[in-house]
Amino acid sequence: MNRDLTERLRAIRLFDIYGLLLTGHQQRLVQLYYLNDLSLAEIAERFEVTRQAVFDTLRRSTVELERVEASLQMMESRRHLAHRLDALESALLRLADRVGHEAVAELTQELDAVRRAAR
């Protein structure tokens, strides 16, 4: 995957998890740049500041998000949880093949509920 796209997706994921820890102004800039795909120039014009000011704020924001992730590791924990849920789903499918799908239907529903809650 393209390095820029990988970095962009990481910033979006970090923002989804920790975005509320940023100031309101930082949140708006991150949303406009990463989620709404506005350019630095478009954001700078909207806020009547320089492109450099927008760049600096975005950089400080992403550094802060990375710092918090390094401490809390919630994104890594989510990734680990997703892998464990995938393994559980595979095990349930194998069990369903042996004992019947009705026998594991309740477990499958609970697994789906856990997946939804983990998002």
The CATH number of the domain holding residue 22 is: 1.10.10.10
Q: Are residues 13 and 53 in the same domain?
A: yes
Q: Are residues 105 and 68 in the same domain?
A: no
Q: Are residues 47 and 26 in the same domain?
A: yes
Percent of the chain with pLDDT over 90: 80
State the Cα torsion 9-34-118-88 to the nearest 10°. Answer: -20
Q: What is the DSSP string of 67-81?
A: HHHHHH-HHHHHHHH
Q: Compute the C-alpha angle 12/72/40, nearest 5°.
A: 25
pLDDT band at 116 (very low <50, low <70, confident <90, very high): confident
- Looking at the 3D structure of the chain, how many domains does it have? 2
Q: Are residues 64 and 83 in the same domain?
A: no
pTM of the predicted model as reported, rounded to 2 decimal places: 0.73
CA–CA distance from 37 to each of 22, 29, 43 (Å)? 19, 11, 10
Q: Are residues 68 and 10 in the same domain?
A: yes
pLDDT in tens, 27-48: 999 999 999 999 999 999 999 9
Host domain of residue 62 = 3-72
Mapped onto helix, strand or coil, the DSSP state of residue 3 is helix
Q: Are residues 18 and 63 in the same domain?
A: yes
The pLDDT assigned to 119 comes to 73
The pLDDT assigned to 3 comes to 78
CA–CA distance from 78 to each of 19, 38, 69, 72, 85 (Å)? 16, 28, 12, 11, 10
Q: Are residues 67 and 84 in the same domain?
A: no
